[in-house]
Amino acid sequence: MTVPTYPAVESTAPPSASTAARAQLLHGGSVEQYRQAIADGVDRVARRVATVDRPVTGITPAELAPLVDRVDLDRPLGDAGAALDELDNVYLRDAVWFHHPRYLAHLNCPVAIPALLGEAVLTAVNSSLDTWDQSSGATLIERRLIDWTAERIGLGPRADGIFTSGGSQSNLQALLLAREEACVDAVGPAARAELLPRLRVLTSAAGHFSVQKSAKLLGLAPDAVIAVATDTRRRISAAAVREEIERCREAGLVVMAVVGTAGTTDFGSIDPLTELAAICAAAGVWLHVDAAYGCGLLVSPTRRHLLDGIERADSVTVDFHKSFFQPVSSSALLVRDQRVLRHATYHADYLNPARMVQQRIPNQVDKSLQTTRRFDALKLWLTLRVMGPDALGALFDDVVDRAADAWQLVSEDPRFEVVTRSELSTVVFRYLPTGPGRELADAANLHAREALAASGLAVVAGTRVDGRHFLKFTLLNPATTVDDVGYVLDLIATHAGRYVHDHVDADADLTCPVG
């Protein structure tokens, strides 16, 4: 058998304007450039990571904005090395480094290296997880991970789900499915229009604001989300949920979902899921569990029981980019009954015509709110294949242990007042002036947080509790030690104490004029 050969096509035409640009596209002829550029970029980041001595530099938007604005986007540098030099100046030098042990602010984790490897692979191959013909094996890998997660939760044989961009999107989709399930009997536009304004969602007063946003996006009434009171441990009160369902019923309202939170963002509190499941089952109400933060417990070797009851949910949000040490984005929505995902299905002739379902072609777009979609699942896949679930769970256990130590430290320190003890890894507390100046507590804590960030030595978060300003540690870094926590507490006390001292004196100066 002879293989036909074709003469090389010698072009006599002058090179087109795009000839040089083509070398910047990844293809068989540019792999050396690709290797070089990525290796250079990795090297720059590695050098920064190796040398940062504080989580932030404390640069202000006013200082940084001119550097970014000065870049002329219409005048390319022509070379990745030069662009990286520039990037170092406008971004990397002053980036926020979550791997630093004194980054204690939000739910940002240090990232697992196998996941970074996954990120590099998935962006280069650039599979899109809407249809099989844009992804092939990637679709199967995502499906395996959805099954794995649903099994960890215990959702049963008919479970399914989809990777999403984050917990907010997962919550939105969960509530979309719950709304549609609540509307199944409201056939016709008139019945639907009559029902929609009567739908209500119950969630904890400490629940996530994406529930409110979702309700708005879903066209529910402005007062559709009812914030249910919490107990002293900041967990939703099951008794109050039961009463609220009853009250809604009597008022002619329809509770379309109860959202239980497995790890509130501020307090790390886990709602009583077993009780919520029983209440929802008895009332025929959809139970959604927002485990965006607490999902790390699914792989915890010692604390899985804290999620007991989650297996009875109708839908569950997990954020792998919070407690699974994955880079943003990596989240998923899981559902107990795969059939409910049909509420997110549309068939487009050009993409996923209905006949593909009969042909058993697995198109993930049938289950997703997105169309073109990243292969984020690959990051978790490589993490599990390299490290395994127990190792991930051990890392999360570490930070939960560390938060317990931190709570102990703060609660024994007379300079501070601490709120409830977290089941996960937050500590909410405030500096309390002991002598004169107690009324300055709010301003002093606000000041301490800002002064700390400006110094770059540590970053903590702030929140309000019962109308007062509090500070918050969110621990997600196993490298954070109790000494780090103690050091940051001293810095906070110094900043806040100085503020109180200065302002009490200033007040005294005003009230006691000399002469």
Ligand X SMILES: *Cc1c(COP(=O)(O)O)cnc(C)c1O
Backbone angles phi, psi at 430, to 5 degrees: -150, 155
As measured in angstroms, the least distance from the Cβ of 171 to ligand X is: 6
Phi/psi-derived region of residue 494, left when phi > 0, alpha when psi is between -120 and 50, beta in every other case: alpha
**With CB under 6 A as the contact rule, which of the stretches 84-92, 149-157, 162-170, 270-278 interacts with ligand X?**
162-170
Q: How far is CA 101 from the centre of its chain?
A: 19
Name the segment binding ligand X (CB under 6 A); options: 161-169, 181-189, 215-223, 486-494: 161-169
Candidates 173, 269, 331, 420: give the one binding ligand X (CB under 6 A). Answer: 331
CA 339 from chain centre, in angstroms, equals 26
Residue with tokens 């800002």: 450
* Beta pairing, strands 315-319 & 160-164: unpaired
Binding residues for ligand X, total number by CB under 6 A:
15
Judged by CB under 6 A, the stretch of 26-34, 129-137, 166-174, 397-405 that binds ligand X is: 166-174
Which lies closer to ligand X via its Cβ, residue 171 or residue 230?
171
Could you give the string, one character per residue 49-88, with x where binding to ligand X holds by CB under 6 A and - elsewhere?
----------------------------------------
Q: Does 208 bind ligand X (CB under 6 A)?
A: yes
In the complex, the smallest distance separating the C-beta of residue 259 from ligand X, rounded to whole angstroms, is: 9
Closest CB 165 distance from ligand X, rounded Å: 7
266 binds ligand X (CB under 6 A): no
Would you count residue 214 as binding ligand X (CB under 6 A)?
no
- The reply on whether position 396 binds ligand X by CB under 6 A is no
- Phi, psi dihedral angles at 193 (to 5 degrees): -65, -30
Among 110, 114, 118, 167, binds ligand X (CB under 6 A): 167
> What pairs with residue 202 in β-bridges?
226, 258
CA–CA dist 395, 109 (Å, integer): 11
Site for ligand X in 104-133 (CB under 6 A): 107
Using CB under 6 A, pick the residue from 261, 425, 426, 480 that binds ligand X: 261
Q: How far is the CB of 349 from ligand X (least distance, A)?
A: 32
- Residue 291 vs 451, nearer CB to ligand X: 291
Whether a cis peptide bond, with omega within 30° of 0, leads into 165 is no
Residue with Cβ nearer ligand X (166 or 296): 166
Measured at CB, which residue is nearest to ligand X? Answer: 167
Q: Can residue 364 be called a binding residue for ligand X (CB under 6 A)?
A: no
**Smaller CB separation from ligand X, 208 or 374:** 208
Residue 227 is given by DSSP the state E
Nearer to ligand X, 171 or 477 (CB): 171
Residues 272-291 that bind ligand X (CB under 6 A): 290
Q: Which one among 108, 139, 168, 364 touches ligand X, defined by CB under 6 A?
A: 168
What's the CA angle centered on 270, arms 278 and 171, to 5 degrees?
80
Q: In the set 166, 272, 393, 433, which binds ligand X (CB under 6 A)? A: 166
Please give the single-letter amino acid code of residue 136.
S
Q: Which two tokens stand for residue 11?
A: 């072009």
Amino acid at 494: T
Q: Which residues in 288-307 contact ligand X (CB under 6 A)? A: 290, 292-293
Q: How far is the CB of 153 from ligand X (least distance, A)?
A: 16
Q: Per rule CB under 6 A, is residue 265 in the interface with ligand X?
A: yes
CB neighbours of 77 closer than 8 A, spacing ≥ 6? 83, 86
Task: For residues 94 and 59, give the distance between their C-alpha atoms in angstroms, rounded to a whole number.
Answer: 7
Q: Looking at 2-10, 65-73, 95-103, 160-168, which segment touches ligand X (CB under 6 A)?
A: 160-168
Using the rule CB under 6 A, is 319 a contact of ligand X?
A: yes
- Please say which residue, 127 or 204, places its beta carbon nearer to ligand X: 204
Number of CB atoms found within 10 A of residue 110's CB: 20
Sheet order of strands, 426-431 included: 103-104, 459-465, 468-474, 426-431, 416-418
Omega before residue 329 within 30° of 0, cis:
yes
| Closest by CA position to 263, among listed 217, 216, 310 | 310
Q: Decide: 280 and 288 in contact? Cβ < 8 Å.
A: no
Nearest to 195 by CA among 204, 185, 206, 205: 185
Residues that bind ligand X (CB under 6 A): 107, 166-168, 171, 208, 210, 261, 263, 265, 290, 292-293, 319, 331
